[in-house]
A = this chain, B = another copy of it.
């Protein structure tokens, strides 16, 4: 069964070990921020730094894992039709809306949507780290370090499939920011198998 995350919103759910999560871009051109916490102890949380340590790359795709702050694998990427995701930037928030879009209405953003969805699982917002931003296209200039947010390179139906390495609480959004989805706000679909 496929569930739709409406534009500019977010959900949270649990995964058991070996369950697979498929995140789908149904229309193309959308980003989905993903967070994962250990269900047995939610002080264990996804970590971009530990992932870069152990995977030795910033370009994560099939065969790579997402690691926790406790040096354990949380999710393995088992299939990926895109190969372009971001693990440098944090979820958009009221603060980033004020900073980057001063002439636009302020929105809770992926940060607010994740905080609200994860709250009932006992996750507090100050523990929200850098998310794994599925389908997000953030080229970094090697010479200058300059980074920019570009529209996703996805086409309708593109997907990424993760396997849970342990029991998890997962937060997932359909992104709310203008830059990350090229100014369009679209849904995200997901399926647990």
**B-binding residues in A (CB < 8 A):** 43-45, 47-50, 52-54, 56-60, 69-71, 88-90, 93, 95-96, 99, 124, 126-131, 139-142, 144-148
* Least CB distance, A83 to chain B, in whole angstroms: 10
Q: Report yes or no: A126 in contact with B70, Cβ–Cβ below 8 A.
A: yes
Check A90 against B130 for contact (C-beta < 8 Å): no
CB of A130 within 8 A of CB of B47, answer yes
Known: A99-B54, A142-B140. A89 touches B128 (CB 8 A): no
User: A145–B58 contact, CB under 8 A?
Assistant: yes
Task: Determine the distance from Cα of A93 to Cα of B71 in the docked complex, in whole angstroms.
Answer: 9
9 examples of A-B residue contacts, CB within 8 angstroms: A48-B48, A48-B49, A49-B88, A49-B129, A50-B90, A53-B90, A56-B146, A58-B88, A71-B93
Contact A147 B88 (CB under 8 A): no
Q: When chains A and B are docked, how far (Å) is the Cα of A65 from the Cα of B58?
A: 23
- Decide if B56 touches A148 in the complex (CB within 8 Å): yes
Instruction: Please name all residues of chain B whose beta carbon is closer than 8 Å to the beta carbon of A142 when the two chains form the complex.
Output: 139-142
Known contacts A44-B126, A49-B90; 4 additional CB pairs below 8 A are: A48-B49, A49-B89, A70-B95, A71-B96
A138 → chain B closest CB, angstroms: 9
A59 proximity list for chain B (CB < 8 A): 144-146
* Residues of B with C-beta under 8 A to A146: 56-57, 59
Nearest B residue (CB) for A126: B43
The contact of A145 among B50, B53, B57, B131, by CB within 8 Å, is B57
Give Cα A54–Cα B145 distance, bound, in whole angstroms: 13
Assembled-state Cα–Cα distance A170/B104 (Å): 36
